[in-house]
């Protein structure tokens, strides 16, 4: 459940502008601030260049990336006093798509109580309780649907691209993640599925402690190191 | 527009209060001499290739009489004034039959039935179309009048209607992603007993009525996915209504009296309203109950009192005030995720809604001069407590299930809103060869404390209160003028009509309602009656081929595309009567 540690890092944070809208006067205001997350997709420490066959993974496959899209959910802020704040007042599931710039910034609706925080975590994908079929019916999220017979709900992640196979041909790959299945016997006939495996996991962002003052806005930059998917914890070879 | 003095009927525009149920069914009339009459009508409209066919037979005598009719209406796609083509379709067939008996002098008994079927109705404003609609209405009515010196009249009426309604998105581009079909069955049955009698100088009208509504419906969503070359189909069934029932029983009375030159009317109505559902859907999050307790019942009091006083000559002043209490409808209580209002949201019912209470004052001036015509000016102010309005609920609580909508709203009570408005009309004397009619009406609504969600780059990032926000989805100021002239003893009548609609700039900031521009449309018609058996009428609507859209029908749900009304339409109607 700590696979995310390898490829998500908090780069930096800063205090930003003050949000000052006229608010409802009742009940009395609790000191709180705002939080923004900006997502970046990197390969080997550099910003992703899509559709360019310029990358080589740990298995020595030359590859390119065409699409990166995924869900994160249940962003949680852990306070030093042991309390926590789960982001859910407006949205609790966030769709991030490299092709849709506005999805790469999450402006958290929730007012985060001011104070000292130890860390931040989130679910990569969607937890079993919330990952129900047909909760999204509109693009782009609807394109992440996962068949009911395979467990239902939605893909946690889709990384699509191409790689140069061992014969030198450029072949497409769909590196997808969602609910897994356990099959009886050999083969992958859907009739032989006897159980499902929830593959969502919690990402604890390293070095994500912070201090939030009343009416401050903090911005967190989060990076996904794409090459890490092909080497952590196992080296993945597209040829096999 | 807003009359308090009718029989305990209260309504704000688009909101009907108790006691106002209407049953649309044909009513035959007796003939003094045995007779049979018929009517054949054919109509054609250009632009959307509109066709209307109607056949009607009526006849009988003093004691037995009948009326039967059938017909078809069909319309296709139309071109708007901006030359944009809108794919629409409308096909309805209907039959009606009714018969009446005069059991004895002044005792009438009527049975009626109507069947209406719609097929392949394409709604350009909605993300779905009507595949099939079957509506039946049957009624039985007994009336007796002139009973005696005290009891004046008695009416006993019962009705039953059923609707089978299927909507789908099969012909929409989004069906390639997900197909959805919703089928709803509804029944409505009720009746009333109304009697009137005289008590001295007072006329008293009193009665009971009852209504039972039942709705049950299901949505089926189907999604096909291709993964690794295999095609997978996922299907989900959800209830949009789950055996929902609403019962309303009312007792009412109205007193009419005259004191000097003042007519006085007072009305009182008491309703018992009860509703329940077999829903298993349950939505409670963070101690907020959105949809849980399904049963509700209310005892509602409504009343009004008004006076009509002759000021001078034919100049009358009418003033009334009252309270109209409206229980939430079965839709407002139990609907689950369908876009049933004018905006781009799925709606969720609220079983725990409270009734609206409309405190209203009406003032009306009527003036009639035989050679000039009649003028009416009416104004009203109403203060509505527990006004029922859609409130956005966060996607973390519930997500929409209709393609194209942007979120979910739940019917909720707003503590207090204000509505005010006016209506003006003028009608020229009917004995004149020239005819002029003019109307103007407007309603203004205000929500003192509306919640606005702040959006930044497509994300909701906060909320704020908007004070004195206009109520959403209120039509703008509108007026019309119609001029006609009667040639050849009324056998040839040309008419010229102009409709003037103001821009709607008074829009809800909280709802991010869009302003709409004003427009003017003109129409001309000519009707000719060459003989008593034949009538021909022809004309043109939207003469100038103006591109325009109505404020309440301004947008295609799920897009920013404007829904323009039809451009220029030529039409002709031929009618044969015998």
| Domain assignment present for A68 | yes
Cα–Cα distance, B392 to A83 (Å, whole number): 29
Cα–Cα distance, A43 to B273 (Å, whole number): 65
Cβ–Cβ under 8 Å, residues B358 and B325: yes
| Domain assignment present for A118 | yes
Q: Scanning the structure block, which residue is given the tokens 């008004």?
A: B306
Cα–Cα distance, B125 to B402 (Å, whole number): 14
Number of domains in chain A: 1
Interface list for A 52-71 with B (CB within 8 A): none
Q: What are residue B262's phi and psi, to 5 degrees?
A: -115, 125
DSSP track, chain A: --GGGGTEEEEEEEE-PPP-PPPP-SSPPPPEEEEEEEEEEEETTEE--TT---EE-TT--EEEEEEEEEEEEEEEEEETTS-EEES-SS-SEEEEETT-GGGGEEE--SPEESEEEEEEEEEES--TTT--TTS--STTGGGGB--GGGT-SB-SEEEEEEEE-TTS-EEEEEEEE--EEEESSSS--GGGEEEEE---EEEE-TT--EEE-TT-EEEEEEEEEGGGGGTSSS---TT-
Predicted ipTM of the assembly = 0.84
Q: Give residues with Cβ within 8 angstroms of B195, minimum separation 6.
A: B151, B152, B153, B154, B155, B205, B206, B207
| Domain assignment present for A240 | no
A–B interface: beta-carbon pairs under 8 A = 97
DSSP helix/strand/coil, B333: helix
| Domain assignment present for A201 | yes
Short-list B320, B305, B303, CA closest to B266: B305
DSSP helix/strand/coil, B197: strand
Report the pLDDT value the prediction gives residue B24, as an integer from 0 to 100: 57
Q: How confident is the model at residue B150 (pLDDT cuts 50, 70, 90)?
A: confident
Q: Give residues with Cβ within 8 angstroms of B196, minimum separation 6.
A: B151, B152, B153, B154, B203, B204, B205, B206
Residue of B178, B234, B396 with shortest CB distance to A91: B396
- Show the domain range for A119: 3-18+32-230
Q: What is the maximal distance between C-alpha atoms in chain A?
A: 69
| Domain assignment present for A43 | yes
Tokens of A73: 């959910």
**Which tens digit of pLDDT belongs to each residue from B98-149?**
999 998 888 999 999 999 999 888 888 788 899 999 999 999 999 998 887 7
Taking contacts as CB-CB distances below 8 angstroms, the residues of chain B near A134 are 178, 221, 223, 234, 236, 401
| Domain assignment present for A237 | no
CB pair distance less than 8 Å for B236 and A134: yes
Cβ–Cβ under 8 Å, residues A126 and A106: no
- Residue B396 touches chain A, beta carbons under 8 Å: yes
**Which tens digit of pLDDT belongs to each residue from B304-338?**
999 999 988 889 999 999 999 999 999 999 999 99
Cα–Cα distance, A76 to A118 (Å, whole number): 11
| Domain assignment present for A23 | no
Taking contacts as CB-CB distances below 8 angstroms, the residues of chain A near B227 are 147, 150, 176
- Residue B576 touches chain A, beta carbons under 8 Å: no
| Domain assignment present for A214 | yes
**Which tens digit of pLDDT belongs to each residue from A170-188?**
999 999 999 999 999 888 8
Q: What DSSP state is assigned to residue B176?
A: G
- Is the bond leading into A140 cis (omega within 30 degrees of zero)? yes
**Which tens digit of pLDDT belongs to each residue from A2-58?**
444 344 544 433 333 333 334 445 667 889 999 999 999 999 999 999 999 999 999
CB pair distance less than 8 Å for A136 and B223: no
* Beta partners for residue B168, in sequence order: B129, B181
CB pair distance less than 8 Å for B223 and A88: no
């Amino acid at each position: 459940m700590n696979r995310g540690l390898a490829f998500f890092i908090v780069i930096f944070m800063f205090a930003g502008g003050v949000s000052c809208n006229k608010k409802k006067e009742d009940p009395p205001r609790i000191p709180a601030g705002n939080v923004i997350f900006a997502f970046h997709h990197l390969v080997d420490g550099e910003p992703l260049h899509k559709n360019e066959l310029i990358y080589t993974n740990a298995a020595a496959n030359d590859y390119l990336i065409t699409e990166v899209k995924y869900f994160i959910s249940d962003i949680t802020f852990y306070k030093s006093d042991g309390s926590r704040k789960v982001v859910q007042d407006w949205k609790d599931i966030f769709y991030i798509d490299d092709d849709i710039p506005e999805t790469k910034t999450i402006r958290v609706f929730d007012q985060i109580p001011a104070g000292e925080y130890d860390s931040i975590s989130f679910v990569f994908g969607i937890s079993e309780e919330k990952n129900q079929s047909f909760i999204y019916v509109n693009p782009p999220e609807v394109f992440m649907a996962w068949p009911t017979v395979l467990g239902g709900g939605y893909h946690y992640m889709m990384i699509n691209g191409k790689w140069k196979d061992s014969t030198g041909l450029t072949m497409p790959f769909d590196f997808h993640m969602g609910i897994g299945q356990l099959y009886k016997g050999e083969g992958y006939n859907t009739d032989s599925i006897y159980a499902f495996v929830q593959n969502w996991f919690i990402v604890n962002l390293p070095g994500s402690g912070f201090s939030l003052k009343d009416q401050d806005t903090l911005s967190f930059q989060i990076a996904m190191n794409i090459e890490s998917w092909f080497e952590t914890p196992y080296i993945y070879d597209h040829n096999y | 527009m807003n009359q308090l003095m009718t029989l305990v009927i209260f309504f704000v525009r688009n909101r009907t209060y108790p006691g106002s149920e209407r049953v649309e069914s044909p009513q035959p009339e007796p003939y003094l001499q045995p007779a049979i009459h018929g009517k054949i009508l054919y109509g054609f409209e250009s632009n959307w290739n509109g066709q209307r066919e109607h056949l009607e037979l009526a006849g009988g005598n003093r004691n037995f009489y009948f009326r039967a009719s059938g017909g078809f209406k069909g319309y296709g796609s139309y071109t708007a004034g901006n030359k944009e083509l809108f794919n629409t379709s409308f096909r309805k067939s209907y039959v009606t039959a009714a018969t009446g008996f005069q059991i004895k002098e002044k005792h009438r008994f009527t049975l009626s039935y109507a069947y209406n079927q719609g097929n392949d109705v394409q709604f350009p404003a909605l993300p779905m179309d009507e595949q099939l609609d079957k509506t039946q209405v049957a009624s039985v009515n007994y009336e007796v009048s002139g009973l005696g010196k005290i009891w004046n009249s008695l009416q006993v009426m019962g009705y039953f209607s059923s609707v089978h309604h299927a909507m789908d998105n099969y012909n929409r581009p989004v069906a390639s992603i997900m197909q959805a079909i919703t089928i709803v069955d509804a029944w409505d049955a009720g009746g009333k007993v109304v009697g009137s009698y005289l008590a001295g100088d007072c006329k008293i009208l009193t009665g009971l009525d009852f209504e039972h509504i039942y709705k049950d419906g299901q949505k089926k969503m189907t999604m096909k996915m291709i993964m690794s070359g295999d095609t997978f189909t996922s299907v989900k069934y959800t209830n949009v209504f789950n055996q929902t029932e609403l019962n309303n029983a009312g007792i009412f009375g109205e007193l009419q009296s005259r004191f000097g030159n003042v007519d006085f009317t007072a009305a009182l109505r008491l309703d018992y309203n009860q509703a329940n559902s077999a829903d298993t859907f349950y939505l409670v999050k963070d101690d907020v109950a959105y949809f849980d307790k399904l049963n509700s019942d209310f005892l509602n009091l409504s009343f009004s009192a008004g006076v009509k006083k002759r000021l001078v000559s034919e100049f009358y002043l009418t003033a009334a005030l009252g309270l109209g209490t409206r229980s939430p409808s079965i839709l407002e209580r139990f609907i689950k995720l369908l876009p049933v209002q004018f905006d781009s949201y799925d709606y969720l019912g609220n079983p725990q809604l409270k009734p609206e209470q409309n405190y209203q004052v009406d003032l009306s001036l009527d003036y009639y001069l035989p050679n000039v015509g009649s003028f009416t000016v009416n104004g009203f102010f109403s203060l509505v407590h527990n006004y029922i309005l859609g409130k956005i609920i966060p996607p973390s609580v519930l997500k929409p299930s209709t393609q194209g909508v942007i979120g979910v709203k739940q019917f909720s009570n707003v503590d207090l809103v204000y509505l005010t408005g006016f209506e003006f009309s003028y009608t020229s004397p009917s004995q004149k060869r020239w005819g002029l009619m003019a109307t103007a009406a407007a309603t203004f609504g205000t929500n003192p404390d509306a919640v606005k969600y702040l959006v930044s780059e497509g994300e909701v990032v906060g909320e704020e209160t908007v004070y004195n926000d206009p109520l959403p989805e209120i039509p703008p100021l509108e007026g019309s003028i119609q001029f006609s002239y009667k040639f050849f003893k009324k056998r040839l009548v040309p008419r010229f009509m102009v409709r003037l609609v103001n821009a709607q700039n008074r829009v809800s900031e909280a709802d991010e309602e869009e302003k709409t521009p004003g427009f003017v449309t003109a129409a001309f018609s000519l009707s000719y009656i060459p003989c008593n058996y034949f009538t021909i009428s022809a004309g043109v609507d939207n003469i100038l081929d103006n591109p325009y859209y109505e404020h309440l029908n301004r947008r295609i749900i799920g897009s920013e595309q404007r829904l323009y009304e039809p451009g220029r339409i030529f039409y002709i109607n031929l009618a044969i009567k015998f």
